[in-house]
């Protein structure tokens, strides 16, 4: 994680952040042709997460497989905006974030600016990673500049060691963490 730390992570107890997984959105191969049931399911999940005691919610376009390795198309951002609008309206006091899968921090920043999101998650922020979507490249240089311009209060939660990737020559079989003296958290290359 880096950037501004929301109050959420400063408490004396650990924060429970519940994920709202969206069903396939418009444009995705498995989209069923109507957004209303997707939004209704997201609201049901969010309600259960909040009533059950989650401290925050994060929204993901989880059903949009196979994911774009770079920028998502405008219809994805538009659908995510509808979902965020619904979640904000239903749970105005719950900190809210987004992860635009697979790695579109720029789209997440746009949503953060529009909805004053407390945080966004980006899976590959620095370095690069080979995934089933192809090469995911960190765009920290852009993400941090654009955050300063668009939504300076939004925290960036960057994965240190993201799932579903093969990290260069990192020995994932032995699960060895890269030597912290040679690679700052989030940096994945070189991997020796």
Contact set with other proteins (CB under 8 A):
1-3, 5, 8-9, 11-19, 21, 41, 44-45, 48-49, 51-55, 58, 60, 62, 121, 157, 159-164, 172, 175, 177, 180, 184-185
Q: Which two tokens stand for residue 112?
A: 């953060």
Q: Which is nearer to other proteins, 10 or 89 (CB)?
A: 10
Q: Which is nearer to other proteins, 74 or 86 (CB)?
A: 86
d(CA 68, CA 120): 18
Q: Which is nearer to other proteins, 17 or 28 (CB)?
A: 17
Residue 17 beta carbon to other proteins: minimum distance, rounded to whole angstroms: 4
Instruction: State residue 104 phi and psi, 5-degree precision.
Output: -95, 80
Residue 74 beta carbon to other proteins: minimum distance, rounded to whole angstroms: 26
8 A C-beta contact, residue 22 and residue 61: yes
d(CA 1, CA 22): 24
Residue 166 beta carbon to other proteins: minimum distance, rounded to whole angstroms: 10
d(CA 18, CA 16): 6
Residue 153 beta carbon to other proteins: minimum distance, rounded to whole angstroms: 16
8 A C-beta contact, residue 118 and residue 56: yes
Q: Which is nearer to other proteins, 47 or 74 (CB)?
A: 47
Contacts for 141 with CB less than 8 Å, ≥ 6 apart: none
Q: Which is nearer to other proteins, 71 or 184 (CB)?
A: 184
Residue whose C-alpha is closest to residue 77's, from 129, 118, 115, 47: 115
Residue 49 beta carbon to other proteins: minimum distance, rounded to whole angstroms: 6
Q: Which is nearer to other proteins, 21 or 145 (CB)?
A: 21
Residue 128 beta carbon to other proteins: minimum distance, rounded to whole angstroms: 17
Residue 60: count other Cβ atoms within 10 Å of its Cβ: 18
The overall longest dimension of the chain from CA atoms, in Å, is 50
């Amino acid at each position: 994680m880096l950037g501004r730390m929301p109050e959420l992570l400063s408490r004396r107890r650990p924060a429970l952040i519940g994920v709202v997984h969206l069903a396939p959105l418009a444009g995705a191969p498995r989209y069923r042709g109507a957004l209303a049931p997707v939004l209704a399911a997201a609201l049901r999940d969010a309600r259960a997460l909040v009533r059950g005691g989650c401290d925050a919610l994060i929204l993901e376009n989880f059903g949009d497989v196979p994911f774009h390795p770079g920028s998502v198309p405008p219809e994805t951002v538009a659908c995510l905006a509808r979902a965020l609008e619904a979640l904000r309206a239903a749970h105005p006091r719950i900190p809210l974030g987004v992860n635009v899968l697979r790695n579109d921090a720029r789209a997440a920043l746009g949503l953060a600016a529009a909805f004053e999101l407390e945080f966004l998650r980006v899976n590959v922020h620095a370095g690069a990673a080979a995934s089933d979507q192809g090469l995911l490249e960190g765009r920290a240089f852009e993400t941090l500049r654009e955050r300063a311009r668009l939504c300076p209060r939004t925290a960036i939660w960057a994965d240190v060691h993201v799932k579903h990737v093969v990290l260069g020559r990192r020995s994932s079989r032995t699960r060895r963490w890269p030597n912290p003296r040679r690679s700052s958290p989030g940096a994945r290359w070189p991997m020796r």
